Amino acid sequence: MHRIIALFIAAALVIPVSVRAQEAVPEGEEQVADRSPLAFEQAIEGQAFIIPVKGMIDGPLAAYIDRALRDASDAGAGLVVFHVDTFGGLVDAADEIRKTILNAEVPTVALIDKNAASAGALISYAADKIAMVPGASVGAATVVEGTSGEAAPDKYQSYMRGLMRATAEANGRDPAIAEAMVDESIYLEGISEEGEVLTLSTSEAVKLDVADAEVGSLKYLLAIYEVEEADTVEHQLTRAEGLLRFFSSPVVQSILMLMMMGGLYFELQSPGVGFPGMIAAVGAAAFFGPHYLLGLVESWEILLFALGVILLLVEIFVIPGFGFAGIGGLAAVLFALGFSLIGNIGFSFPSGEAISSAVLTLATSLVMMIIAMFSLGRFLPRSNRFGQLVLAPELTAETGYTSADSHTEWLGRTGTALTDLRPSGTAEIDEDRIDVVTSGEYIGKGTAVEVVEVKGSRVRVREVRRLT
C-alpha cells in the first residue's frame, strides 16, 4: 500500500515537469510574443543618439539632421531617437530629411512628443519605429501655400500623397492611412471621414499600427532598449547651425532684406559712406554670411548681388539717369536675393513650395521697404527725434531768415495804383514802384490804396475809402 502511494506522488511530480519541457521554446528561438512592439530584430548595442526635430522644418534643419546621423554612424551608435515636436514646414526640406532617415544605417525611432503635423508626420513615417507619448498627435499633412494657410494646388497635394504613401510602404505601414493625412477626399470606414484630413491621437495611432507603442517619456523609451544614461548622447545644434536657423526664418530674412535694400536706397540718396550704408552692409553680411558658411548659398549668388550694387552705383555716379545699368543692377539684386532663398545646388533649382516661399518672402520685403521709404521720407524729417540727430535749425522770419527782401516798413502806408489791379498790378508806395495784389477785388488805375500785408515779396493792398 505504501509503495502504491509513493508511485502516485512520483508521477505527480514528473508529469508536470515533462509537460513544461515539451512546451519550452527550443534553444535559439525568440519568444516574439513577449517582446515590445518597439523591439528590433537584433539587440541594441552601443550608444543611443537623441536628435531633436523641433520648430519649423527648413533647410538648415535638414542639413543638421544629415550631420547628426553621420556623427551617430561614425560613433558606432546602436540607436538614433528623433525627438519630434513640430507643426511642419517646407516640403522640400522634409523630403531631404525623409530620404536621409530612410538611408540611415543605424536603427531609428521617432518619438512624437507632442506634435508631428504636416512635414513632421512625413519625417516620423521615415523612422523604423514610431513611439508616441500620451496626448500626442500625428497627421494633417496637407500642403499649404506660404503663410496664407490655403491648400496648395492639387499637383502639390499629389506629390505629398506620393511621399507619404512611399514612406509608409518602405516601413510596412498602411499607405492608405498615410494618404488620408494629406487628401481630405479619401474615405476610410471607421477611420477617416470624407472632407477631413486625418489626424490621429496616440491611442488611435497605436490601434491602427501607425505608431508601434505608447510610452510615457523619452526615459521610458530608452529603458525599453535597456540603454543606460551613460550611453545616451544628446546631440545638439552647433552655434553656427543655431544662428543659421535663426537667420533663415522668413521673418528675419525679410528684415535683413529690408535692411539691405532700404539702406542701399537711402545711401544712394546721400552719396558717401554713412549710417544707411553701414546698415546695408550689416544686413548683407547677416543674410549671406551664415548661409554661405554652411553651403546653402552659392558663391555666384553673392557675386550676382555685388554686380547689381556696382551697376546701380555706375548708373548714379557715372551715367546719371535710369537706363540699362540701373535696370540691370536692380534686376541682379532682386534675382540674387530670390535665388539665395531657394535651396538650389549650383544652377539646379527645386520646384514647388520652395520657389513660392522665396517669392512670397521677397515680395513681402519689397512691400515693407516701399512703406518704410514712404513713411520715413514723409514723417521722419518732421519728428523731434530726427531734429536731435540732424543739424536742422529753424529758418523762420522771426529769427531773421526770409526767402527774399521783405519791406515790412510799407505795412499801413498808402499809395496810388499805377495800373488796374485785376487783382495784381503795380502801385506806387513812398515813391517806390512795386508789384502788389488785392484780396481778389478789382481796383482801378489811379485809386488810392493801403498796404495791409507784407509777406516776403508779396505785398497785399486794399482800396482806401475816403469819407465824403
Question: What is the pLDDT averaged over residues 241-267?
Answer: 77
Share the mean pLDDT of the chain.
Answer: 78
CB count within 10 Å of CB 86 equals: 23
35: nearest Cα among 224, 207, 227? 224
pTM of the model: 0.61
Which three three-digit cell numbers place residue 168? 509608409
Rounded (5°) CA angle 375-377-381: 105
Count of alpha carbons within 13 Å of 419, Cβ hemisphere only?
A: 12
Count of alpha carbons within 13 Å of 138, Cβ hemisphere only?
A: 30
Which CATH number describes the domain made up of 405-463? 2.40.50.140
| CB 125 within 8 Å of CB 168 | yes
Identical fold between 43-237 and 405-463: no
Q: Is the pLDDT of residue 293 over 80?
A: no
- List Cβ<8 Å contacts ≥24 apart for 429-434: 429/459, 434/407, 434/410, 434/459
Residue 131: band (very low, low, confident or very high) from pLDDT cuts 50, 70, 90 = very high
Percent of the chain with pLDDT over 70: 73
Concatenate the DSSP letters of all residues of 262-294 into one string: HHHHHHHHS-SS-HHHHHHHHHHHHHHHHHHHT
Per-residue pLDDT at 14: 40
| CB 287 within 8 Å of CB 260 | yes
Residue 451 CA, chain-centre distance (Å), reads: 67
Which CATH number describes the domain made up of 43-237? 3.90.226.10
421: nearest Cα among 402, 437, 405? 437
Per-domain residue ranges for the chain? Answer: 43-237, 240-378, 405-463
Measured between alpha carbons, how far is 263 from 333 in angstroms, rounded to an integer?
A: 13
Which three three-digit cell numbers place residue 442? 478789382
Of 8-12, 234-238, 309-313, 366-370, the poorest mean pLDDT is in 8-12
